[in-house]
Amino acid sequence: MGLDISYEAVAAEAYAHIDSGGVGMGIGIQCDIATPALVRHGTEELKELFLRPTISGDKVACLGVSEVGGGSDVAALRTTARRDGDQWVLNGGKMWTTNGAQADWMCVLANSSEGDPHRNKSLFCVPMDTPGVNVHKIIDKMGMHSSDTTETTFENVRIPHGYLIGEEGKGFIYQMQTFQNERIYIAAGTIAALDRCIQETIEYTSQRKAFGKSILDNQYVHYKIAEMQTELECSRALYYKCIDDYIAGEDITPLATMLKLKTARLAREITDGCLQFWGGMGYTDEVLVSRLFRDLRLMSIGGGADEVMLSILCKYMGIHPDMNKI
């Protein structure tokens, strides 16, 4: 349709008005995380097989990057893809796979050769009903309960050579490009959800009375909420700049990384601060704020932990101690 990333961002904001955060996360995997590399680099035949039915909703997609031995350290993954004639043979496993239990296919990042870990990886479309693909369990999580998260293994999984996305050895680069989409999507949904968290807290504290006045009338409470809103607006401004720069074709890696880091930390601060003002009700499962407290805690972990975001930023700033090794 020729639409730019701002349309995806608007959609992500809209999904944040669904009380269950897992719904927007599942859709985001389908649209912004498992499929961008296929859109950019896949052959027309591969798009017809996997992308078209995914867009129409006839197939569910998931992404296979994180593994049991590591999540954010993408270069260290151990799943392999060995060429055997006109086929690829995959062995290994993936962890923390959103949509994994219901997916029809997985976009898998695997080592397709030896050597430099940034240049030996490739991306593949792997149908989940292929012999040797095993979904071992659905993982019980602290939040995002409506979203399935799985552990999956590959045991001599054979797929056609044509299921390779783009060029062999370019998988790491393709995946890093996709992460910029992911960080914008995460920020869009998180900022919109935090807006709801603040507004619901204002409404509740304005009605809840203690010691002869509303909770909101306490100076500490309304000052703290004003601080939260100020921090959120600063994050929103960075979010809009990332979108504008992305559309303009600029490299937004540093800004998108800052956006992911700041928004994720705000998710922890704002949900925790708002929950406190709800008192005992905030500690129940009956109110939205407690759900947001659980669901949005993921943002500092999923899609690259806060510490990984800081490491990336330090490398871009030239202050990382391992710069001479890069």
Residues sharing a CB contact under 8 Å with residue 213, sequence separation 6 or more, in sequence order: none
Task: Give the end-to-end CA distance of the chain in Å, rounded to a whole number.
Answer: 39
CA angle 75, 119, 153 (to 5 degrees): 50
CB 261 within 8 A of CB 306: yes
Which of 114, 182, 227, 286 is catalytic? The answer is 182
Closest CA to 20 of 178, 182, 203, 148: 148
Q: What is the DSSP string of 93-151?
A: EEEEEETTTT-SEEEEEEE-SSS-TTTSEEEEEEETTSTTEEEEEEPP-SS-TTS-EEE
What three-state secondary structure class fits 160? strand
- 200 in active site: no
Phi, psi of 26 (to 5 degrees): -65, -40
Q: What is the DSSP string of 190-216?
A: HHHHHHHHHHHHHHHHHH-EETTEEGG
Residues making up the chain, counted from first to last:
326
Q: What is the DSSP string of 13-65?
A: HHHTTSS-HHHHHHHHIIIIISSHHHHHH--HHHIIIIIHHHHHTSS-EEEE-
CA angle 16, 20, 26 (to 5 degrees): 80
Could you give the CA distance from residue 285 to residue 131 in angstroms, rounded to a whole number?
Answer: 41
One-letter amino acid of 54: T
Active site residues: 182
